[in-house]
Structure 1
C-alpha cells in the first residue's frame, strides 16, 4: 500500500523541481532612462556618467580617473541584461558582480592588450577562462546585448543571444550590488541602455 503513495509523491517532487529550474527570471528595468536614481557613483563627485535619450554614457576625464556606477540595491542570484555600444578610444569596461572581485570584461584587456569581452576578470588571477566565439557575435560598431546569469558562485554570459562563457568563482559574497566600470588610466567612452535585472 505504501508504494502506491511513494510514486505519486516522488513524481510531484520531480515536477516541482523541474518547474523551478525551467522558470525564467522576471526581468525588471533598473534604469529609468531619465537620471541615475537607484544608482551610486564611486568616487562620489560624478563628472563621468551622464544620462540622455534613455541611455547612460560614460567617458574618462582629462585626469583619466576611473569610476564605477553601482546599483544601490544588492542582489543574490540574478539575471542581468543590458545593451552596450562601444564608443571612442580603447574601450576597457565591464560588469561587476556583487563586488569588485568578479568582473565580466567589455572591450580591450589592459593586461593582455586584446579584446576579452565576455571573459571573467579576477584580481590576482587575471582571466581564468576566456569566452569562446566572441569574435563571431560581437559588433564593434553597433549595439550589443550582454546577459549574465549568476547562481551561487557560477555565472554564465551570453552576447547577442550566444552563450560564450561559464565560470565558477571562489569566495564570492552571497549578495552584493551590480556595477558598470569606467577603467582608469584610459581614454574611452561607452554607452549603456535597456538595463534590467531579474531575481532568481
Structure 2
C-alpha cells in the first residue's frame, strides 16, 4: 500500500468516527406522536390483547381505571441503551392511585424461571402521583433484588422520612388542576452513576458501582445496558400519559 492511499484511508476512518460520535451526542426522539413504532408491550399471555397502552392526543397513554385484573404490563423500547441522557414529560391524575415508573437498562425475561413467567429485570425511576416524594427515586425490579436502591432500603416500603431531602422538594402538577400543565423528568446514566431530575429539582445522584454491575444483575443482563420502559403495576388502577420523549446517547 502506497503512502497516499494509506493517508486517504486514515483520513476517511477519522471522519467516519467523527460523524458517529456527533450522532451519538445528538438528541433524537423515541416517540413519533402517531403510533407505537419503536415500542413494544411486554406482559403475560393473560394480558395480551388488553389495551392498557395506547396513543391518545399525540401522547403515550396508560389507562387501567376500573380494571384491577391484570399483572405487570410494560411498554418498552425495542432498542437498548447504556450511557444516555433521557428527558420526557408526563401527566398525572389525582383520580389515579396507581404506580408507574421509568425502567432503564432493563431486560425482559420469559424463561421458565422468570417471575410470574415474564419479568422486566432492571432499575426503575419511580413515578408515583399519590406520593410525589417517591418520584425520581430508584427502585430495582431485578429478581433477587426487588428493593429501593436509592435510598437503600430492604424492600418496597418507603416513608418520607427515609427519603433524601432532595426528594421532599419534588412538586408534581396534576391534570385536574391544569390540563395544560405537564411534569418533566430527566434520567442521566454515565457508567454506574445515575442522576434524576423532576420538574427541575435534582432528586437523585446514585453511584451504582457494585450494585448495578453485581453478580445478580449480570445474571439477568440488566443494570449496565437494556431497554427503557414504562410500567403499569400489577392490579393497579393507573392513568398516566407521556410525551416529548428524547434521548441523547453519550459517545464512548
Q: TM-score, normalised to structure 2's length?
A: 0.63
Report the Cα offset of residue 58 of structure 1.
Answer: 0.2
Q: Which has the higher helix share?
A: 2
Post-superposition shift, 1:175?
2.0
What SS does structure 1 have at the residue aligned with 2:169?
A: helix
**TM norm structure 1:** 0.78
Give the C-alpha shift of residue 145 in structure 1. 0.3
Root-mean-square deviation (CA, aligned residues, Å) is 2.3
Output the CA distance in 2 between the equivalents of 1:155 and 1:133: 15
Task: Give, in whole Å, the separation in 2 of the partners of 1:81 and 1:58.
Answer: 19
> Contact 2:68–2:235 (CA<8 Å) still a contact in 1?
no
Aligned length: 174
**Structure 1, unpaired ranges of 5+:** 1-23
Structure with greater strand percent: 1
- For residue 127 of structure 1, give the secondary structure of its aligned residue in structure 2: strand
The answer to whether the 8 A contact 1:147-1:158 is kept is yes
Do the aligned partners of residues 149 and 25 (structure 1) sit closer, same or farther apart at CA in structure 2, a change above 3 Å counting?
farther
Q: Which of residues 89, 92, 98 is equivalent to 2:96?
A: 89
Q: Which residue among 147, 151, 164 is the counterpart of 2:186?
A: 147
Gaps of 5+ in 2: 1-23, 107-120, 152-162, 175-180, 214-221
**Match status 1:182 vs 2:232:** yes
**Structure 1 runs of 4+ off > 4 angstroms?**
none
Determine if contact 1:40/1:71 at 8 Å carries over to the other structure. yes
